[in-house]
A and B are shown apart, each in its own frame.
Chain A
Amino acid sequence: MGRTTPPPELLPGTLDLLVLRVLSLGPMHGYGIAQRLKQVSDDVLQVGESSLYPALQRLRLNGWVNAEWGASENNRRARYYTLTAAGRKQLVSEREEFDRMAGAIQKVLRMA
């Protein structure tokens, strides 16, 4: 019973990385995270709630984010996710790993 993997819309493991990265900017609720991903990626990354919320649960379970209830923009109760210290560490290491992988893939693609 290890970590479960996200649905394969993105490169495996990247959703967690992206969510961690978005949360590194500050606390945010689920919908906000999805919106931010969409905006920043120029509508390329449209993360559905069927991937996002499981991912958030997974991050919570691993202790990388905390969840707290607060008020949303329209004054409804919303759950805000905050990066924990462990999450920050995880972000750094996952990012390095991603860079390494991406670089490797690029190298292969660009080979003459």
Chain B
Amino acid sequence: MLLAWRRFVFWCRRAELERELKEELELHASLARNGKEMGNITLAKEESRDMWGFRSLEHLLQDARYAIRVLIKNPAFSAVAILSLALGIAGNTAIFSIVNALLIRPLPFQDPSRLVRITNLHPQALFEYFQQRSKTMDIASVSPGFEINLTGQGPAMRVTASATSANLFSLLGASVEKGRVFSRDEDRPGNDGVVILSHELWREKFHQDPDILGRTITLGGMNRRIVGIAPASFAFPSNKVQLWFPIRIDSRVVTQYWAGAFVPLVARLRPGVALAQAQAEIHSLAANVWKLFPWPMPKRFNADSTLISLQTDLAGETRSKLFILLSAVGVVLVIACANVASLLLARATTRRKEIAMRAALGAGSARIVRQLLTESVVLALTAGICGVLLGATALSLFRSVVPPDIPGVAQIAVDWRVAVFAAALSILTGLAFGVVPALSAGNLNLVDAMKTGSQRSTTDSWIALRTWLIVGEVALTLVLVVGAGLLMKSLYGLTNVNPGFNSQKILTVKISPNQSFCVQREACVAFYNRLLEESRGLSGVMEAAVANTVPLDGQLPQIATEVEDHPRTPDFPAPMLWAGAVTPGYLRLMQIPLVTGRAFTAADGSNAPPVILISTSTAKRFWPNTNPLGKHIRRAGETSWRTIVGVVADVRQFNLANNSPTSIAGAMYMPYAQAVDTNGQIPVGMNLLVKTTANADQAATDIRRVAIGANPDIPVGKASALTQIVGDSISGFRSTIWIFLSFAVAALVLAAIGLYGLMSYSVSQRTYEISVRMATGATGLNILRMILAQSLRTALLGMVVGLAASLALTRFLSGMLFDVTPTDARVLVGVCLFLLAVAVAATSVPAWRAARINPIRTLRAE
């Protein structure tokens, strides 16, 4: 230990020691001049230097310096190798960082591995049923975020709330920053007037008022006392949620209890309970819940409920996207490694002469191995650093794949473990392919190696290995490019799909009075009518309408219905229909074509006979062979029927790929004034849509002024252009595709470089042979053809393998494909032709070079 320390001190002073030794040796020499002649001064110096430091460390530095010199001297090789690896490392670092943040890093709750989600959505009654019956789990109910009015604190505002059972916080093991969590009975009627604010809302709306606890705020017209502030790190069930309040569980209010809100349930496994046990229990409990309802429910309703990890649940659809991207980027890394392996193989074989020379000069094989190892490591480290920097940049772009409201999205940061892993993988590649061939060549026969170190040494078995590496690269690239092709075709299809409406020049603003404001529905109708009239008077506004939802905005108003001619059966109970509530101008404003019948008019008011419009596909589904006009539909539980007066074209309400989710059987529109539910209540959170020629900012300001003028207590949301909403609805999909595409392009570039490198090397190794061929009559064109054929054979072999792999693998993409099958022939053929063209392009330079070889000069040089 002491020795090591002294050594370190000496090592630090080595420049000084070197000077002193030099002086000492000079003195020695001058004193000895008359005596015997001097011995080996250099040896004396070198031996002394060994005393001053860490010989192996110095050798390492020396090797590293040499390695860097070698890399700088071969800029093309270094650039390609480093860039290949850096691309692979960057992509993997970025994607894995996201995967880690969302899928691997434990959720920020106590003992998160024991938290699960019970799939499907369940009413309060089932929450209580499961909670009381389960012996393996504690269960909590938590609604996804929904918007609600916050009033009585300055200007009215719209906030996102989540209604939870009282035990949610304690079940998660989450604490509050201030105050307390909900206590046991606060989800019972009369006790539920409490609320916990998010840290963010406390900061933004209440300026971090330290005395906030105990204050009362009004949410959706109901007074609630603030009992706690959640810490900034608490985001559940989504980042959007700004406050939490208890649900009100009252089994006496039957409709509310059994059908008021269908919400997700989360659970914590009790100590000592295995997941399988809990699974078995929930399967047996859920099997018959459909029989418990006080009215007929679809057979086996929610019987397929099962447990999934809470983390998996929170990541949602992003999970499969991430897996696809992770696989794609893994493939890119494999291709990069293959490329570097191929490059190193080429270099190792051409360096045999150098290595033989060093061995002949006395370098031990261990020393040579170390030198080669150092070169690989320097290469990999350089690539690693570039890769991580690139990855950090890429991460900020890749983030867009993840919906911003997923908890954990804020914690996405560069993950060092994966950067290290990718670098280690590339180092291993370097070792395997840089060191082994060089050594096996160097060790075997020094004399032969030095003699045949010229370009005539064509017979290396490594070139076969290189060819196979390139075949593999081409195959993998083909798979990625086919995937990218399919996704691009889907994206093209999606962006060109006819959504059923014209989004141009339409601006939408959510204006949402409290439910209490609309108890008298005339008041509410009058309020919106006044808004419409005033909006139409604004400069630039051509048309205005009010609707409960805007297509593609993520809202899904659905109601259970009874359809004439389709009596309820146990297997086909009340079909769910998408239910629009619109003012008469809506269809014209959205340019939704009327197929048959009539549109709504101002005469379809509160007291007029109830009428509805249905969509074409709904008409086809329920009345394929009869005229739907005059048929009837009503809400489940309603006594009087609503008459179908018209059929309108389909609209992509839910997303651009589908009109609506499969659980929804069709779409209908009601006049707003008639859109009451069975309790006589009218929808309150309505969107004001205007078609305007004015610029969006001006129009938004005008509308806000009008709305606040109409009633200052009613919050006015943010104005959005409908085109923006349409674009946003596929933005996650679009960015996933672009990232996938970037990986495919990276793979393509790498494979092209690999093929180019292989062919250049092959041509340079075959110079002699080509010269002989030319001397014996082959033309430049023959040679060109020969080299091209060699390259295309390799590429075609790779493409055949790749096609087979594509056919097996692309079905994993099917969840993301739109209007294209995973084995779309046009995409497959197109990609193959494209790859072939790339292969020809990559080979053209070496082939051209081969055709221009001057046989006389080459043969003379030999």
Contact = CB atoms under 8 A, between A and B. Distances in A.
Interface of A (DSSP majority class):
mixed
B47 A78 contact: no
Given A48-B40, A53-B47, A53-B48, A76 B20 contact: no
Interface stretch (B51-59, B202-210, B630-638): B51-59
Interface stretch (B26-34, B111-119, B123-131): B26-34
B50 interface: yes
B29 to A, nearest CB: 8
B22 to A, nearest CB: 11
B792 interface: no
A24 to B, nearest CB: 21
A68 to B, nearest CB: 11
Nearest to A69: B20
Contacts of B3: 2-3, 61-62
A53 B25 contact: yes
B777 interface: no
A81 B4 CA distance: 22
Contacts of B50: 4, 54
Contact of B44 (A53, A58, A63, A77): A53
B23 A49 contact: no
Contacts of A4: 47, 50-51
B10 interface: yes
Contacts of B10: 61
A35 to B, nearest CB: 8
A77 B27 contact: yes
B32 A54 contact: no
B665 interface: no
Given A1-B7, A49-B38, A61-B10, A54 B48 contact: yes
A4 B27 CA distance: 25
A106 interface: no
A49 B24 CA distance: 10
A108 to B, nearest CB: 32
B595 to A, nearest CB: 89
Interface residues of B, number: 32
A32 to B, nearest CB: 9
B24 A30 contact: yes
Interface string A54-72: 1001101111000000001
B10 to A, nearest CB: 6
A51 B31 CA distance: 17
A77 to B, nearest CB: 7
Interface string A12-48: 0000000000000000011100100000000000101
Nearest to A47: B39
A2 B1 CA distance: 10
Contact of A61 (B6, B40, B43): B6
Interface in B47-73: 47-48, 50-52, 54-56
B826 interface: no
B21 interface: yes
Contacts of B36: 46
A49 B20 contact: no
Given A30-B28, A72-B27, A50 B47 contact: yes
B856 interface: no
Contacts of A3: 3
A22 to B, nearest CB: 15
Nearest to B24: A79
Given A49-B25, A50-B40, A61-B3, A79 B20 contact: yes
B28 A31 contact: yes
A49 B25 CA distance: 8
Contacts of A62: 3, 6
A46 B32 CA distance: 12
A30 B6 CA distance: 22
Contacts of A49: 25, 28, 38-39, 41, 44
A29 B36 CA distance: 18
Interface in B7-25: 7, 10, 17, 20-21, 23-25
A54 B7 contact: no
Interface of B (DSSP majority class):
helix
A48 B31 CA distance: 14
Contacts of B2: 63
Contacts of A58: 51
Contacts, number: 81
A50 B41 contact: yes
Interface string B521-541: 000000000000000000000
A49 to B, nearest CB: 5
Contacts of A57: 17, 21, 48, 51-52
A50 B28 contact: no
Given A46-B36, A61-B3, A53 B54 contact: no
A99 B48 CA distance: 28
A50 B43 contact: yes
A97 to B, nearest CB: 19
Nearest to B56: A1
Contacts of A79: 20, 23-24
Contacts of A48: 39-40, 44
Interface in B369-386: none
Nearest to A48: B39
A76 B7 contact: no
A36 to B, nearest CB: 13
Contacts of B51: 4, 54, 57-58, 60-61
Contacts of B20: 79
Contact of B27 (A1, A29, A52): A29
Contacts of A78: 24, 27
Nearest to A2: B3
B213 to A, nearest CB: 64
Contacts of A72: 27, 31
Contacts of B31: 31, 72, 74
Contacts of A34: 28
Nearest to B9: A61
Contacts of A74: 31
> Most chain-A CB neighbours within 10 Å: which of B31, B40, B52?
B31
A53 to B, nearest CB: 5
A84 to B, nearest CB: 13
Nearest to B50: A4
Given A54-B50, A57-B51, A76 B4 contact: no
A76 B17 CA distance: 18
Given A49-B44, A61-B7, A79-B20, A1 B38 contact: no
Contacts of B32: 31
Given A4-B50, A61-B6, A62-B3, A53 B56 contact: no
A77 B23 contact: yes
A5 B419 CA distance: 43
Interface string A75-98: 011110000000000000000000
Nearest to B10: A61
A54 B7 CA distance: 14
Contacts of A29: 24, 27
A58 B50 CA distance: 9
B803 to A, nearest CB: 57
Contacts of A51: 44, 47
B27 A50 contact: no
Contacts of A7: 47
Given A48-B40, A53-B47, 18 more contacts: A4-B50, A4-B51, A7-B47, A29-B24, A30-B24, A30-B27, A31-B32, A34-B28, A49-B41, A50-B44, A50-B47, A52-B44, A53-B44, A54-B47, A57-B48, A63-B6, A72-B31, A76-B27
Closest 3 CB pairs of A and B: A54-B47, A57-B51, A48-B39
17 contacts: A1-B56, A2-B3, A29-B24, A30-B24, A31-B31, A31-B32, A34-B28, A49-B25, A50-B47, A51-B44, A53-B28, A61-B10, A61-B52, A62-B3, A63-B2, A72-B31, A78-B24
